[in-house]
């Protein structure tokens, strides 16, 4: 898996699906593209190299062993399925801070890490778009903090594939830097 940092990359600001299409087109239509937009900088994890006139800095995503501690950033879709008799029901937004932190810790446990400290947790906000004529929206929360790797294989999978839902729309890319 390669990490690409695109500076001054212009993306549609109003529609997450159009952003998804722009990034996918830059990486040869790859289905395995994860990205995060921060201002005019876009961080992309992809197995494909960018095509066309895209200027970027590339590095390889390393493997980290259990016990490695570092800083993380992740933007997550904070929703849960409402339980209904006979199966899963509709999704509902997770909006209160204790429930948000609980949900992140559940995801972390499945993803090979434990959160040691939160430096920033944004207020929930909505990302919107239109896909095939249907409106889409994501209840989004940004996290910045410190984590410790607990399972090397699960953590590598989380870095390569992202965590949570909405990954095709700029959510779930786990960015990790060793202290």
Query: Model's pTM, two decimal places?
Result: 0.88
Domains in the chain: ranges and CATH: 2-60 (no CATH), 69-178 (3.30.70.1210)
Task: Determine what percent of the chain is predicted with pLDDT higher than 70.
Answer: 98
Cβ burial of 1 (10 Å; 0-12, 13-18, 19+) is: middle
Q: Who has greater pLDDT, 25 or 70?
A: 70
22 pLDDT more than 70: yes
What is the pLDDT, as a whole number, of residue 30?
Answer: 63
State the pLDDT at residue 31.
Answer: 67
What's the mean pLDDT in 156-175?
A: 93
Least confident of 13-22, 57-66, 92-101: 13-22
- Higher model confidence: residue 124 or residue 91? 124
Count of helix runs (H) and strand runs (E) in the chain: 3, 11
- Checking if the pLDDT of 65 tops 70, the result is yes
pLDDT of residue 148: 98
Q: Tens digit of pLDDT for each residue in 103-162?
A: 999 999 999 999 999 999 999 999 999 888 999 999 999 999 999 999 999 999 999 999
Neighbours of 108 (CB within 10 A): 22
In this prediction, residue 106 carries a pLDDT of 94
* DSSP secondary structure of 86-114: TEEEEEEE--SHHHHHHHHHHHHHHTTEE
């Amino acid at each position: 898996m390669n990490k690409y940092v695109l500076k001054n990359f212009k993306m549609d600001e109003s529609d997450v699906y159009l952003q998804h299409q722009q990034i996918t087109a830059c990486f040869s239509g790859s289905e395995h593209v994860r990205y995060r937009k921060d201002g005019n900088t876009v961080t992309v994890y992809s197995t494909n190299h960018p095509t066309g006139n895209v200027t970027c800095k590339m590095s390889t995503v390393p493997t980290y062993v259990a016990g490695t501690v570092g800083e993380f950033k992740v933007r997550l879709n904070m929703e849960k399925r409402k339980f209904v008799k006979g199966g899963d029901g509709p999704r509902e937004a997770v909006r209160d801070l204790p429930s948000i932190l609980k949900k992140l810790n559940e995801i972390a446990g499945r993803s090979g890490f434990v959160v040691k400290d939160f430096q920033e947790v944004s207020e929930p906000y909505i990302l919107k778009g239109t896909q095939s004529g249907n409106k889409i929206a994501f209840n989004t929360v940004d996290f910045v903090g410190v984590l410790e790797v607990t399972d090397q294989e699960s953590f590598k999978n989380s870095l390569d594939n992202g965590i949570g839902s909405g990954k095709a729309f700029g959510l779930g890319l786990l960015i990790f830097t060793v202290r």
